[in-house]
Amino acid sequence: MTTSLKIDYIEFYSSELEATQDFFAKACGWEFIEYGPDYRDIQGAGTGGGIERSSNKAPLIVLKTDDLQAAYAQLCAAGAHITKEIFSFPGGQRFEFREPGGTNMAVWSEG
């Protein structure tokens, strides 16, 4: 059985977090919840999202699943390269991977 994965969250990276937050607030009307000095949760963007202080450039596409272990096994079997093993964060758990074409992505589940 294939585990369904849906795009649920987009994580932007910025070495200038405050400037990026200010830009999105002015340009898009988004609001933010501050989770420490290096992370903002985006509110009002139409889908979940966040901004992390980082020198990475490309956004991270985050998929959601009800069964993280099954998704992990399914993606590995399909050829994903795991770049960050399963870890916990406030609200759930996730892991990160690179698909064969080079896009970095993540999968999360609640709890």
CATH number of the domain encompassing residue 17:
3.10.180.10
Given this model, what pLDDT does residue 111 score? 78
Q: What is the pLDDT of residue 106?
A: 97
Please indicate, yes or no, if residue 77 is contained in any of the structural domains.
yes
Check whether 105 has a pLDDT greater than 80.
yes
Over residues 25-72, the pLDDT tens digits come to 999 999 999 999 999 999 999 999 999 999 988 999 999 999 999 999
Other Cβ atoms less than 10 A from the Cβ of 111: the count is: 8
- Residue range of the domain that includes 103: 6-110
Report yes or no on 22 lying in a domain: yes
User: Within a domain: residue 1?
Assistant: no
Does pLDDT of 2 surpass 90? no
Query: How many domains does the chain contain in total?
Result: 1
- What is this structure's pTM? 0.85
